[in-house]
Structure 1
Amino acid sequence: MVAVATLPKHEVKDLALASVGKQRIEWAAREMPVIKQIRERFSQEKPFAGIRLVACSHVTTETANLAITLQAGGADAILIASNPLSTQDDVAACLVADYGIPVFAIKGEDNDTYHRHVQIALDHKPHVIIDDGSDVVATLIKERQDQLSDFIGSTEETTTGIVRLEAMLKDGVLSFPAMNVNDADTKHFFDNRYGTGQSTLDGVIRATNVLLAGKTLVVAGYGWCGKGVAMRAKGLGSNVIVTEIDPVRAIEAAMDGFRVMPMIDAAAEGDLFVTVTGNKHVIRPEHFAVMKDGAMVCNSGHFDIEIDLASLGATATGVREARNFTQEYTMPDGKSIVVLGEGRLINLAAAEGHPSAVMDMSFANQALACEYLVVNKGKLEPGLYSIPTEVDQEIAALKLAAMGIKIDSLTPEQEIYINSWTVGT
């Protein structure tokens, strides 16, 4: 453990939780062989020597392994929470006490504390920001223009954050390179689909202990996260309805075997609702009005705006905590509507987030995206950049090797054929 006299400034719940956190971080590391290999290389090459780095992320065991990897690479890094209910307090304590990494994150922190931590992060004068949701980057642009001259760039791995970055680019305020980690194949195909699919239902089950078999489960949004939730819910025996605004995704959902309809129609049928759209007020007063007595609503999108909780609270005649992370609102007609996890990320509010094995690839992308920004400092124009294909391929190859899976390679004859236009049938 780091000596008390040398502990960095921090705001965590209780340093006495560190020993439990360390056990859990080490357990997660067993399922993260790719990030382990990157950490071993970073410890030798020190690509982040002299680099101040801020990570705004869910403070979980998996994030801890990323933070330790960045530290091994020489980064002067601090970590803040990207969501008030996503912090694992024992993990935060361990990073401070055992690794000397400054952490500003407490599970259940209020919005004022969260925004104060964003300011603390920017006081670090980062060269690189790892952002979940783009709050730190947005604050940098709006309030800290004087710090942009030394800023190298940012990385973002949430759909919500990418949407915000695209809006910044459109408005001409994105004056630095930003890496779109979310669109890497080894991120969204796996993290968004398999990670969100499993962890969302894990959070629902931990919060409610309800049987999902036989329930009508409504998934709002059929992007990669929505596909994962729908697939896993179907596997557990739920009758799945999908709501969408994109006609192509709606057709895909229908051909995947799900009923597709507007939310106003689904609202009358659903037993459980999961929002994964990244947009605002997907479930609104007109939907609450037609829901069944006891209908449950939750969110697995990044911010707590997908469900219009302000309207629900204003309409309800009372609210009570039925279980941990389970609030029951009583409506004027006597029926109840149950909100899980305060409308925040249910997979992190009531559970532990994505499994380590899938976050291994996501955080490998984060680590290598940060390295790419530093290596290419001054060479990249402002804008959004995809993860290089060779990096995606490297991460996939490392993961396959760790899983003991081998694949074919092209023969010389196939190489010639696939790269030629002169050879036909």
Structure 2
Amino acid sequence: MTLLDLTPRVATGDRLATLPVAVIGAGPIGLAAAANLLERGIDVVVYEAGDDVAASIRAWCHIRLFSPWKHLVDPASHRLLAAGGWVLPTPERAPTGTELVEQYLVPLSQVDEMKRRIRTGVEVVAVAREGMDRTRTRARAATPFVLRLRDASGAVTEETARAVIDASGTYTSPNPLSSNGLDLLGLDAIADRVTAALPDVLDGDRATFAGRRVTVVGAGHSAANTLLALVRLARDEPGTTVTWLIRGARAVRVSSSPDDELAGRAHLGSRVDRAAARGEIAVLDGFEILRAERDGDAAVLIGRRRGELVRHQTDVIVNATGFRPDLDMLREVRLDLDDIVEAPKRLAPLIDPNVHSCGTVEPHGFRELTHPERGFFIVGMKSYGRAPTFLLATGYEQVRSVVAWLAGDTAAASTVTLTLPATGVCSTDQAGGCCS
């Protein structure tokens, strides 16, 4: 069998037929995968490391998404919800993360067929084939997958599955602050001064930033959102200063295109530009971060800028440098990944952030997501590797195609269509993602 054969890869022997499909992650894409599987009569178990569904979105739920509701709801999930009377919120309105969770994802997770198949507080720490490592080939496709699990108490167990859909995302795997992609030298000394991307600057995390020197590292949409919030905070909280540290040569990496159909994003870049022109944001571009150290209560980033060694002192650092996939858990799975962006090799050219924006990605499905490991798929944001151009609508079509293929419906799996909003360039590096 060649890599792109259309025959279903999951064998249907007596034992495999009794096992569910395992879905890793109960975010929008993981729940959509489960809804598609249930619609086709395929049993599923969803493993979520967080205490509740959509744990990653809850971490930045104060942010308003760029896409309106009409682009944020998976069709199969919509049908499952509509059977119980659920109605799509205002289609043209873009919700906050909180609204997406409370008005869509929580109700979806509470549908009876879904609820009893979701296991929260359970982290998948590794995936393999039962009784064999990645070097063994004989009868591999007919052998169940085994998932090693760790629960909140630390107990480790293993469960089997007929196929695995990894929709675990990348939010918990941020890129490091260092410009070379390695863990930042000296990070331990300043770790208490570093926050994750998209902090709740104006409310929940206000005390962290008020009256302090704040440095935002990164050049994408996450950085831009945080910078604008900090500018507002600085107007109300004396002593708050805002620095935008960019590791590349250019300060503007976000869309300011009038042709961008995502209105909330279209003017993001120009708003940051205006704030910088007014002196509300100090721009420190071309700063290659080499290491960090502590100076009393302050953090110091040491780097090279225009050929000179530079020290930048600050009180708080926001790491908005983008995300990368956690591949450690897949060490015993046979993958075919692009060398540069770490996306499935056939998908990588379609999502190259140097060429594509969120809205110019071509429709793609199981073919582009196929790996040598039969019955294993990476979907959603994680399938994009280090590329930041992902939209939820793209992930929904991915899982629809993958599930159709797992069900043996090769015609539906091969017919991939996708309507995306016209967009400007999301980002020209790996500095940050698109908030769908």
Q: TM-score range by the shorter chain?
A: under 0.3
- The answer to which structure, 1 or 2, has the higher relative contact order (CA under 8 A, 6+ apart) is 2
**Which TM-score applies when normalising by structure 2?**
0.27
**Which TM-score applies when normalising by structure 1?**
0.27
Higher helix share: 1
